Chains A and B, each alone.
Chain A
Amino acid sequence: MVKGCIFSIEEFSVYDGPGIRSTVFLKGCPLSCEWCHNPEGQDAGIQIVKSPNGCVGCGACFENAVQENGKTVFMERSIKKCPMKLLRYCGKMTESTELCSKLLANREFLSDGGVTFSGGEPFFQSGFLFECLEQLKGKMHTAIQTSGFCESAVFARATELADHFLFDLKLFDEAQHIKYTGVSNRLILENFRFLAKSGKDLTVRIPLIPGVTDTYENIDGLCRLMSESGIYYAELMPYNKMAGGKYKLLGKTYSPSFDETLTPDIRADIFEKYCIKILVL
Chain B
Amino acid sequence: MTDKTLNFLQFLKSGEYKKMRKHAESFGECPLTAEKHLESFKTALELCRPVLFAEYDDFGFNRDSDLTMMWGSGNVTPNYLRILNTGFDGVKEQIKQSISNTHNIGRKKYGRMMLSCIDLCLDYSDRFRDEIKDKNDRLYKALLKVPHGPAESFYEACVFIKLCIFFLRLIYTDHIGLGRFDQYMYGFFLADKRRGVSCEELFETLENFFISLNFDTDLYWGMQQGDNGQSMVLGGFDVDGNYLYNELSEMCMKASLELCIIDPKINLRVGKNTPEEVFESATLLTKQGLGFPQYCNDDVVIPGLIKLGYDKHDAYDYVVAACWEFIVPNCGADTPNYHLLDFPLVIGNMIKNELCESKSFDELMEKARLAVANECERLLELGKIVVRVENPLLSVFMDGCIESLLDTWSGGTKYRNLGSHGVGISSAADALAAIKKNVFDEKTISAQQLTDALEMNFEGCEEIRNLLLDSPKMGNNDAYVDSIASELMASFSKHFNNKPNIFGGIWRAGTGSAQNYVYASKTCPATADGRRSGQPYPSSFSPSLETKSAGLLSVIQSFTKYDLSDIINGGPLTIEIHDSVLRNDIGIKKTAQLVKKYIEFGGHQLQLNSVNREKLIDAQKHPENHKNLIVRVWGWSGYFNELDVEFQDHIIKRCEYII
Q: Residues of A with Cβ closer than 8 Å to B?
A: 9-12, 14-15, 19-20, 22, 60, 79-83, 85, 105-106, 108-110, 112-113, 242, 279, 281
B463 within 8 A of A: yes
Minimum CB–CB distance for A63 against chain B, Å = 12
Contact of A22 among B463, B551, B577, B587 (CB under 8 A): B551
Contact of B466 among A12, A19, A80, A110 (CB under 8 A): A80
A-B contacts besides A85-B469, A106-B557, A108-B601, 9 pairs, CB < 8 Å? A10-B659, A11-B553, A12-B553, A12-B577, A14-B590, A81-B462, A83-B458, A279-B584, A281-B583
- Is the Cβ of B550 less than 8 Å from the Cβ of A12? no
Task: Look across to chain A and name the residue whose beta carbon is closest to the beta carbon of B581.
Answer: A14
- Is the Cβ of A80 less than 8 Å from the Cβ of B462? yes
A11-B552, A14-B590, A15-B586 are contacts. A109–B597 as well, Cβ < 8 Å?
yes
**Cβ of A15: which chain B residues have Cβ within 8 Å of it?**
586-587
B465 within 8 A of A: yes
Task: Give Cα distance in the complex from A108 to B659, angstroms.
Answer: 23
**Cβ of A80: which chain B residues have Cβ within 8 Å of it?**
462-463, 466
Minimum CB–CB distance for B449 against chain A, Å = 15
Overall SS of chain A's interface: loop
**Cβ of B546: which chain A residues have Cβ within 8 Å of it?**
85
Contact of A14 among B458, B465, B557, B591 (CB under 8 A): B591
Task: Give Cα distance in the complex from A157 to B553, angstroms.
Answer: 31
- Is the Cβ of B553 less than 8 Å from the Cβ of A22? yes
Minimum CB–CB distance for B533 against chain A, Å = 14
Task: Look across to chain A and name the residue whose beta carbon is closest to the beta carbon of B585.
Answer: A279
**Cβ of B586: which chain A residues have Cβ within 8 Å of it?**
14-15, 279
- Is the Cβ of B466 less than 8 Å from the Cβ of A79? yes
A14-B587, A109-B594 are contacts. A83–B553 as well, Cβ < 8 Å?
no
B593 within 8 A of A: yes
Task: Give Cα distance in the complex from A12 to B555, angstroms.
Answer: 11
Minimum CB–CB distance for A24 against chain B, Å = 11
B97 within 8 A of A: no
- Is the Cβ of B466 less than 8 Å from the Cβ of A85? yes
B404 within 8 A of A: no
Minimum CB–CB distance for B614 against chain A, Å = 8
Minimum CB–CB distance for B551 against chain A, Å = 3
- Is the Cβ of B462 less than 8 Å from the Cβ of A20? no
B477 within 8 A of A: yes
**Cβ of A242: which chain B residues have Cβ within 8 Å of it?**
614
Q: List 29 A-B contacts (CB under 8 A).
A: A10-B659, A11-B552, A12-B552, A12-B590, A12-B594, A14-B581, A15-B586, A15-B587, A19-B590, A19-B593, A20-B553, A22-B551, A60-B462, A80-B462, A81-B462, A81-B463, A82-B462, A83-B458, A83-B462, A85-B465, A85-B469, A105-B477, A106-B477, A106-B554, A110-B553, A113-B590, A279-B584, A279-B586, A281-B584
Task: Give Cα distance in the complex from A110 to B556, angstroms.
Answer: 13
Task: Look across to chain B and name the residue whose beta carbon is closest to the beta carbon of A245.
Answer: B614
**Cβ of B587: which chain A residues have Cβ within 8 Å of it?**
14-15
Contact of B590 among A20, A22, A83, A85 (CB under 8 A): A20
**Cβ of A279: which chain B residues have Cβ within 8 Å of it?**
584, 586
Task: Give Cα distance in the complex from A281 to B587, angstroms.
Answer: 10
- Is the Cβ of B466 less than 8 Å from the Cβ of A109? no
Minimum CB–CB distance for A58 against chain B, Å = 9
- Is the Cβ of B594 less than 8 Å from the Cβ of A82? no
Task: Give Cα distance in the complex from A79 to B462, angstroms.
Answer: 10
Task: Give Cα distance in the complex from A60 to B460, angstroms.
Answer: 11
